[in-house]
C-alpha cells in the first residue's frame, strides 16, 4: 500500500540553525500539507500546497518557514532560524481530493529537537 | 469556545468492551469528519471518513455525525488490546482547494487483556 515517507526520523539542531525536513508524498497525490504536534498538544495545521504554490497557511507559518517541491517527488519544509519552541513532531500529509472526498494520509513524522 | 473539543481521557476498558469516543465542534462550516488513530510517537493513521451527517460502518468501527448537535462519535465493538492508542477526531470545511484539518486533542484509549 502506498505511504507517505519522511526523513529524517529525528533531527537535533542548535537554536538559530536552519533545518530542512523532507517528505515523499504518495505518488498520485496532488495536495500536500505540513502539520506539527508539540508534545502533549493537538496536531496543528501549518500549510497546504497545491500546484506549486501555498494554498493556505496558519499564523504559526511565519517568515521563518518555507515549503518547496523541488522535484516531482519530494516536498520539503525549511525552518530558517530555529527557536526552542519549534521543537515538535512535524508531519507531512498528502491527499488527492476528488469530488466529495479529501482524505489526508500522514507520514510517520520527523521529531525536531532544538537545543 | 474551542473549535474542536475532545475529552483527552485516559479511557481504560476490558477486552471485548464497546468503546465510545466523542468530539464536539463549534464551526458549522465543517462538512468532512475523520477519525485517526495514533500510536505513541507515530503519525496519525486514517480510520474513518464521513461526509456530512449520518453513520458509516467499517468492520468493528462505526462513525456517527450529528451536524445539528455539532457532535461526532466513534464506536469500537469487541475492543482488542491492539486498539490501544490515541484516537483523534479531525474536521475540515467543504469547498476550495485546501482542506486543512482541525484536530481534537485526542483520547488515549487502553484496552486491557
B24-57 tens-digit pLDDT: 999 988 888 999 999 987 899 999 988 888 899 9
**CA distances from residue B69 to A49, B41, B46, B73, B97 in whole angstroms, order as listed:** 32, 33, 24, 12, 27
Coil vs helix vs strand at B56: strand
B43 to A107: CB separation less than 8 angstroms, yes or no: yes
Residues in CB range of B69: below 8 A, 6 or more apart: B24
B100 to A58: CB separation less than 8 angstroms, yes or no: yes
Q: Does A111 touch chain B (CB under 8 A)?
A: yes
CA distance B31 to B13: 31
Given a cut of 80, is residue A24 above it in pLDDT?
Answer: yes
CA distance B39 to B19: 17
Cell numbers of A93, please? 500529509
pLDDT at B69: 94
Which of B44, B102, B104 has its CB closest to that of A106?
B44
**Mean pLDDT (whole number) for A61-79:** 94
Contacts B97 to A, Cβ<8 Å: 31, 50, 55
* Cβ burial, residue B92 (10 Å; 0-12/13-18/19+): buried
Smallest Cα distance from A43 to chain B, Å: 6
Q: Which of B38, B51, B31 is nearest to B86 (CA)?
A: B38
**Mean pLDDT (whole number) for A103-109:** 92
Coil vs helix vs strand at A85: helix
Given a cut of 80, is residue A99 above it in pLDDT?
Answer: no
CA distance B82 to A111: 24
Cell numbers of B51, please? 461526509
Q: Which of A78, A87, A89, A93 is nearest to A111 (CA)?
A: A89
B58 phi/psi in degrees, rounded to 5 = -145, 100
Given a cut of 60, is residue B7 above it in pLDDT?
Answer: yes
Which of B32, B96, B103 has its CB closest to that of A42?
B103
pLDDT at B1: 65
Smallest Cα distance from B84 to chain A, Å: 17
Q: Does A28 touch chain B (CB under 8 A)?
A: no
| CB-based contact B64:B73 (threshold 8 Å) | yes
Amino acid at each position: 500500500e502506498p505511504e507517505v515517507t519522511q526523513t529524517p526520523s529525528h533531527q537535533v539542531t542548535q537554536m538559530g540553525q536552519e533545518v530542512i525536513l523532507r517528505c515523499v508524498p504518495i505518488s498520485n497525490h496532488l495536495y500536500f500539507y505540513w502539520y506539527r504536534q508539540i508534545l502533549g498538544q493537538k496536531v496543528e495545521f501549518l500549510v497546504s500546497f497545491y500546484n506549486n504554490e501555498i494554498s493556505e497557511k496558519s499564523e504559526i507559518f511565519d517568515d521563518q518557514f518555507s515549503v518547496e517541491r523541488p522535484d516531482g517527488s519530494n516536498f520539503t519544509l525549511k525552518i530558517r532560524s530555529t527557536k526552542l519552541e519549534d521543537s515538535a513532531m512535524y508531519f507531512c500529509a498528502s491527499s488527492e481530493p476528488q469530488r466529495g472526498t479529501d482524505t489526508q494520509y500522514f507520514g510517520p513524522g520527523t521529531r525536531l529537537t532544538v537545543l | 469556545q474551542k473549535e474542536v473539543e475532545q475529552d483527552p481521557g485516559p479511557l481504560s476498558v476490558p477486552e471485548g468492551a464497546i468503546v465510545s469516543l466523542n468530539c464536539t465542534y463549534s464551526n458549522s462550516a465543517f462538512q468532512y469528519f475523520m477519525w485517526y488513530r495514533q500510536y505513541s510517537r507515530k503519525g496519525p493513521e486514517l480510520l474513518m471518513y464521513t461526509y456530512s451527517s449520518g453513520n458509516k460502518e467499517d468492520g468493528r468501527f462505526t462513525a456517527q455525525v450529528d451536524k445539528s448537535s455539532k457532535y461526532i462519535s466513534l464506536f469500537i465493538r469487541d475492543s482488542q488490546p491492539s486498539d490501544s492508542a490515541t484516537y483523534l477526531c479531525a474536521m475540515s470545511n467543504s469547498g476550495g482547494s485546501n482542506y486543512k484539518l482541525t484536530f481534537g486533542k485526542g483520547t488515549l484509549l487502553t484496552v486491557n487483556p
